[in-house]
Amino acid sequence: MPVDKINKPASVFQQTYDVIVIGGGPMGLATAYYNSKRSASTLVLEQFTFFNQQGSSAGVSRQFRIPYPDEYMVKMAEDALPYWAELQTHSQEQLLTTVGTLWFGDPTVQSTEGNIAAAELAMQAQDVPYTSLTVGEIEERYHFKDLPSNYRGLFQADGASIDLLATQRTLYDCNLASPLVTMLDQSPVIGIQQSDQLFMVTTPGGTYVGKKLVIVPGPYINDVINLLDFRIEATYWNMASAYFKKTDPAIQYPTWFVFQQPEGNSGNQFYGFPEVEWNYPDYIRVAPDFVMTPLSDPNQASFVPNPEELAYTSEWVRKHMTGLDPTPHYKSTCLVALSTIAGKEMLIDFAPSYVPNHKNIVMYATGWAAKFVPLLGSILSEMAIDGKSSYDISHFQTGQLYFRSM
C-alpha cells in the first residue's frame, strides 16, 4: 500500500482543499469518493486509524432492509440500491449478500426500528412487495420456535447482509487511487478557525486549509462541532453483540428483527444476521437492540460488552432459535449516537445560521445508516460542493431550532 498519501508531514500540505472531511468512517470515505468524482480536492481526517473499532462502524456486518415505518425511509432504502450497484463495480468482494428481511413479533410494539403494521403501510404506499406471515409460518419457514401466539410478521426479499469492512475497503482503495483525495489517520481535530471564508483545521500533526467542511465523525460529532460553538442533542449506546455457533449446518437465517414488550428494566428487542463466509463461518450473529445504561458522552464508552445484555440475548437464543448453541462467542461492542429529537433518526444539515460561514459546513450525525452509505456520500458531497442536495433531505434537516449554541 503506498504511504505517501497517508501521514504526510504537515509541511507538505500547502494547498487549499476544496473540502475537508472530518471523520474517516464509511460516511467520510463515501463523501470523499463522490467528491473525487466531481474533481474536488479533498482531505479526510480520521482521529483514530482507518477501519477502527471505536465508533459506529465497529464490526464487519450490517443489515440492509427496506421495511421502515415511514414512507420516505422506505423510498430512501430503495433509492440506495443503484448506488450500491455502482460501488460494487469497484470491488471483487460482495458488498451486499441478499438474504431477505424478516420482521416479526408483537404487532402493537413500537421500537427503535418502528412498528410492523406501520412498515406494511409504508411499503404498500411505495409498491414494495412483501409477504405477511402468521406465527406458525414464521416458525416453520425461518427456524424460530415457541413464539407467543399473537406474534405476526413480514418478509421482504430485498434485505441483505452488508459486508461493512469490504465496503470501507472499497471506498478507501478508490480514494487512495485518486490524485484528488488525501487521507490522514491519527489526526483528531483540536481546533477550527475561520479567515476570509476559509477554514483552518488544526490537528496535532498540523493545520490544514479548506473551503468547505463535511463533519462526519460518528458518535464523536459534538467533540468536533463544539469547536464551532454549537452541539446536537443525542444519547449514546455502547451496544453489545455476540456470535452463536451453529449446531445444525443446514440452518440459515435471513436478517431479522423481533418486536417485543420490554421486560423489567431492560429492553426486549433483538436482531440477527445470517451466516456469511466473510464473518465467522459456522456462526450466526445475534444482538440486543437495547442497552441497560445509555451514556451521556461517547468518551464514557468502555468498549466492553455488558454481560447482562449478553445474558438476555443468550437466553432469547436458547428459547426461540433452533440449530444454535446459546453460548455467546466473539463478543464485541459498537458505539452509536442516537438523536433525542422526536422524528429525527438521522440528522443531515448545514451548520445553524448563527455559525459564521454556516452554508459551507455540512454535517451528518446519529442513527443507523450503514444501508445508506453510498447514497449519503453522494448527498453530503453535493451539499458541500453545490450548497444543496438534489435529494430531498427535509426529513433529516434540523434547522437552528434543534441546535444548541455553546
Q: Which residue in 146, 64, 137, 133 sits closest to 103, CA to CA?
A: 133
236 is annotated as an active-site residue = no
C-alpha cell at 175: 480514494
Considering 246, 334, 344, 382, which one is annotated as catalytic?
334
Considering 46, 113, 139, 382, which one is annotated as catalytic?
113
Phi, psi for residue 119 in degrees, rounded to 5: -65, -40
Rounded Cα distance between 334 and 116, Å, is 25
Considering 289, 309, 345, 349, which one is annotated as catalytic?
289
65 is annotated as an active-site residue = yes
237 is annotated as an active-site residue = no
Considering 152, 246, 285, 371, which one is annotated as catalytic?
371
Pair 27, 216: CB distance under 8 Å: yes
Rounded Cα distance between 6 and 176, Å, is 9
113 is annotated as an active-site residue = yes
Q: Kindly state the helix (H) or strand (E) to which residue 44 belongs, with its residue range.
A: strand 42-45
SS (H, E, C) 201-239: EEECCEEEEEEEEEECCHHHHHHHHHHHCEECCEEEEEE
Rounded Cα distance between 115 and 55, Å, is 27
271 is annotated as an active-site residue = yes
Cβ-based neighbours of 243, under 8 Å, separated by 6 or more: 280, 283, 284, 285, 286, 328, 329, 330
Pair 372, 324: CB distance under 8 Å: no
Considering 243, 285, 368, 382, which one is annotated as catalytic?
368
152 is annotated as an active-site residue = no
368 is annotated as an active-site residue = yes
Considering 62, 65, 211, 344, which one is annotated as catalytic?
65
Q: Which residue in 210, 206, 212, 211 sits closest to 12, CA to CA?
A: 206
Considering 33, 84, 130, 271, which one is annotated as catalytic?
271
Which residues are catalytically annotated?
65, 113, 271, 289, 334, 368, 371
